[in-house]
A and B are shown apart, each in its own frame.
Chain A
Amino acid sequence: MRLSDTSRLMAPKAAPLSDFALLMRRLHIDGPLLGGLLLICGFGLFVLYSAVGESSRLLVNQLIRLGIAFVAMLIVAQLPPGFLRRWTPWGYLAGVVLLVLVLLKGDVGQGARRWLDIGVRFQPSEAMKLAVPMMAAWYLHDRQIPPKLTQLLMIAVMIVVPTILIARQPDLGTALLIAASGVIVIVLAGLPFKVMIGLGLAAIPGALALWNFMQDYQKQRVLTLLDPDSDPLGAGYNIIQSKIAIGSGGLFGKGWTNGSQAQLEFLPERDTDFIFAVLGEEFGLFGVLTLLALYLFVIGRGLFIAVQAHDTFSRLLAGSISLTFMVYVFVNTAMVTGLIPVVGVPLPLVSFGGTSMVTLMAGFGILMSIHSHRKLLPH
């Protein structure tokens, strides 16, 4: 694999590339990654059209968001990793300042303070999804790896500060995902297994502390998971209906736009967090396995890019972006199938709604940049 990849990159000297391949190289696009992403988005649009009750306006909305997200990816792909690295600390600092501003004077939407109005309305917590792993990778870039304990503490602070600021908004789901993206960097940097196990044990009292941090509705979600029937109209209803939808889909599903659970509105939030259940109902096990395979392909390609990367920053960052994407996929699918409590995490690239899509695609833009800006050093 590695050899073939190297030879492909060396190819221009050996054999002329086709015009298309040349264009892709010039635009710093990674073909396999782009292909995987397009397949996921295309499949997702089909499912979404059915989930929104065949509303063409909402479908066009989603298409526009996807378009913006792909443009963001393309732009980020043009920025060399070295450039990204130099600007990382400033971006991170600006992000933390913006998070503080949000808490002080942000716009309130749906009971939480997440938006900031600086000409355009935007969520600083979105930018932090990339800024936190970038900061951790930047810090480790010119240090000995695996990191020493004091260095680990430094990184812990870099992760914990934005996490707490976001949790205070309150947006516990995003806060935990951002913390995860930072922790992944540390693990990839070679955190000793002993420390990992130790931290795992220490996480138990941490989880208890978290329980106290939770809002009532969040506690309710955890309790509902244990006994969905206790709240058939509230949070439990979602899980019950979602399991019926997926289960009734069987091997090949009820057919596109024919899912009675989704179409007859038994399934709540079917176009956003619970869209995976629509997929399961209308396309069956065959459909969900196809989507999971596409996700795994994209994640695998991301990890491959990480292994191929030429410097510490790129390596750690590419690994973290890929594995964080994995966390999104797992959390959403596990929640919709009733394995973990309902946390508001959308199915990446498929769920309706756009704020997180741009961040996600910008992340893939970084992966493409890392892969396409490598200098071809002989090993």
Chain B
Amino acid sequence: MSALLSSIKDIHSERRVFLSRVILASVVSILLVGVVVARLVQLQVVDHELFAEKSQGNRVRIEPVPPIRGLIFDRAGRVLAENLPAYQLELVPEQVADVEETLERLAAIDLIAAEDIPRYLELSRSGARFKPVTLKFRLTDEEIANFAIQRPRFPGVDFRPRLVRHYPHGEEIAHVVGYVGALSTRDMERLDTASYAGTSHTGKTGVESSYESDLHGDAGYRHLVTNARGRQVPSDTNDLLDSATFSNLSPTPGANVHLTIDLDLQRIATRAFTDRRGALVALDPRSGEILALVSAPSFDPNLFAVGMTTSQFRGLQDDPDRPLFNRAVRGAYPPGSTIKPMLALAALETGATNLTRKTICRGYFQLPGNEHRYRDWKPGGHGPVDLHDAIAQSCDVYFYEVSTELGIDAMHEYLDRFGLGSGTGIDIGGERRGLVPSRDWKERAFSGDHKRWYHGETVIASIGQGYMLATPLQLAAAAGTLAMRGARFRPHIVAAVEDPLTGERDPVTPERLDDVGIDNETHWNAVVGAMHDVMQGPRGTARAVGTGAPYEMAGKSGTAQVVSIAQDEEYDDAELEERQRDHALFIAFAPLEDPRIAVALIVENGESGSGVAAPIAREIMDAYLGYADDAS
């Protein structure tokens, strides 16, 4: 009974305690507010004169000075991105009676596009009314002359000089250097506002984006004399400022970035892709330095730096050839037969095949107990082939057969060691990982009955079809690894970052990755030798391209199906839509014994790896190794 009583809450004592605590809290609150009020009295009454004077003296205001963005150079020091002076057109909403009407009149004299008026209206409403809104980032000489005459008609609209990013080699290197664009609200959330005060543009893609923190620099500030309304007074008054009292801080210019790209090579590669879609990556296998990286078609990055009209941007975005898409690092394609040298090494290492084994190729392969015919690219077959012939002549049936003994998981294991199926870690963003399938992957990626791995899928994976996907960059890195007989380096585009003031260079050291882990020299000799014969042997698929060259080279062609062909249907490319033709691929490296360049490329719908892609690889290697025909 007493236990029950004590468990009943004593409401009255509780209320008493609570009331006392509320009174205590009220006293503390009033004390705290009292402290603030005392402080306010101190500031606003006692020290009012002092602060009033200081506020009057605040005629000198601090203005941020944006830093000059660092330059980008190729490996020979040629400028790829620079800053040029230009005039931009600005409108101050506060000084314009009717913003919409003014914009319409500006459109009438073709200074701005009529379709962009709503965008500028929105901009002029969203910010503070005294802050200028940029209508156009770069005026042509004609536009300046035209506007100068009409200027009295447009109070509140004026042009102002500033630096605009300019890419002298525009389209040729757009997918490497990237571009800068106007700062967006999202950018502002990400970036340090103090350092970006006064900055209007930021790197959006490529090196401009990945090296943004180096290229940008830090904002400085200067003191400006302003009139009572806060407008800057003519600059000669600023000279009166006592430099001891008003110390200015110069902005720290952004660092210069030197690339590993060879502009000459880049141009030759770009030219080879004229009127073609595709991508090419050339790199130095001894360091991972990228010498050329092309994605075709390309675009003019200067459009982004100076701003374009809405319809111009739509045009770029909706172009079916996708010029903005960086195929070299983001395009994932079936690698086709280009993976055969790596699979040959895997098969030799695991004992799934040996150097003497011969297979009779009749032009097709069948799994035991299954009617389905896996066809060779050569309808009649290659006859008896060993491993060397299978690579040099690109016999599919040999690899179909070996794959059943090798198995998908071993294939996955070795291709993974060559870096396929995972990002290369290149120093520009947006890279795709590609895909090397395995039992485990299929289990995770599919549901229900589709989880099972079928033998037939192993067979088609052995010629780089089916689920398998790789980017041109990954294939170039793999070609480099084959050239180096297992040594791998992380591909990179930036060679050094340079302090623009001291000229001091901070070089990027090549990063060596885990070796492929194949030590058997005989196996390497066999596979590399076979790749050599692809280009310079008597029966190689690309012998037309390689024979007669003044140096030794190695390569492997590939053809990737875009549409699957039904059983027994005849392959008649004349009837196929152009965009449904096979992709042509090629990987190569040279010189054979002391490799200095590795190349991978794809020509979309190019049909023949040996016929269309291989000549481009040869042209690049000739140029880089100094054997280019000077007449061209």
A residues sitting closer than 8 Å to B (CB atoms) are 52-58, 109-110, 142, 144-146, 184, 187-190, 233-234, 243-251, 260-261, 263-266, 280-281, 284-285, 288-289, 292, 296, 299-300, 303, 306-307, 312, 315-316, 319, 323, 326, 329-330, 333-334, 337-339
Q: Which residues of A contact B76 (CB under 8 A)?
A: none
Tally of contact residues, B, Cβ under 8 A: 49
State in angstroms the CA–CA spacing of A263 and B194 once bound together: 20
A266 and B178 alpha carbons, distance in the complex (Å): 37
CA distance in complex: A142, B11 (Å):
11
Q: Closest chain B residue to A232 by CB distance?
A: B62
Q: Which residues of chain B (35-78) have a CB below 8 Å from chain A? A: 35-37, 39-41, 43-45, 47-48, 50-52, 54-56, 58, 61-62
Chain A residues lying within 8 Å of B61, measured Cβ to Cβ, are 264-266
B48 touches A337 (CB 8 A): no
Known contacts being A145-B9, A292-B36, is A243 close to B18, with CB within 8 Å?
A: no
Interface string of B167-197 (1 = CB under 8 A from A): 0000000000000000000000100001000
Shortest B141–chain A CB gap in Å is 34
The smallest C-beta distance from B266 to any residue of chain A, in angstroms, reads: 36
Given A57-B126, A243-B43, A248-B48: 7 more A-B contacts, CB < 8 Å:
A244-B54, A247-B43, A248-B51, A285-B40, A296-B30, A306-B18, A326-B32
CA distance A280 to B39 in the complex (A): 12
Whether B36 lies near A250 (C-beta < 8 A) is: no
Q: List 24 A-B contacts (CB under 8 A).
A: A55-B128, A55-B129, A144-B9, A188-B21, A188-B22, A189-B18, A189-B21, A247-B50, A247-B51, A247-B55, A249-B44, A260-B55, A260-B228, A264-B226, A280-B40, A288-B40, A288-B44, A296-B29, A315-B18, A334-B32, A334-B36, A337-B39, A337-B43, A338-B39
CA–CA, A236 and B128, complex, Å: 24
CB-based closest 5 A-B pairs = A247-B51, A53-B128, A248-B55, A264-B230, A190-B17
User: For residue B14, which residues in chain A have a CB less than 8 angstroms away from its CB?
Assistant: 145, 190, 312
| Interface contact A260-B230, CB-CB below 8 Å | yes
Min CB gap A183→B, angstroms:
12
Secondary structure class of chain A's binding surface, majority of residues: helix
B130, CB-defined interface residue at 8 Å: yes
Contact residues in A for B221 (Cβ distance below 8 Å): 233
Option from A245, A306, A330 in Cβ contact (under 8 Å) with B36: A330
Q: Are A250 and B37 in contact, CB atoms less than 8 angstroms apart?
A: no
Residues of B within 8 A of A319 (CB): 18, 21-22, 25
Taking CB as reference atom, which chain A residue is nearest B9?
A144
Which of A58, A142, A334 is B35 in contact with, Cβ under 8 Å?
Answer: A334
CB contact between B48 and one of A184, A187, A250, A288 (< 8 Å): that residue? A250
CB <8 Å contact, B58 and A266: yes
Is the pair A250, B44 in contact by a Cβ cutoff of 8 Å? yes
List B contacts of A246 (CB < 8 A). Answer: 40, 43-44, 51
CB distance from B189 to the nearest CB of A (A): 6
Q: Which residue of A lies closest to B16 (CB)?
A: A190
Answer whether residue B33 sits at the interface, using C-beta atoms and an 8 A cutoff: yes
Question: A329 vs B36: C-alpha distance in the bound complex, in angstroms?
Answer: 10
How far apart are A84's CB and chain B's nearest CB, in angstroms? 19
A146 touches B51 (CB 8 A): no
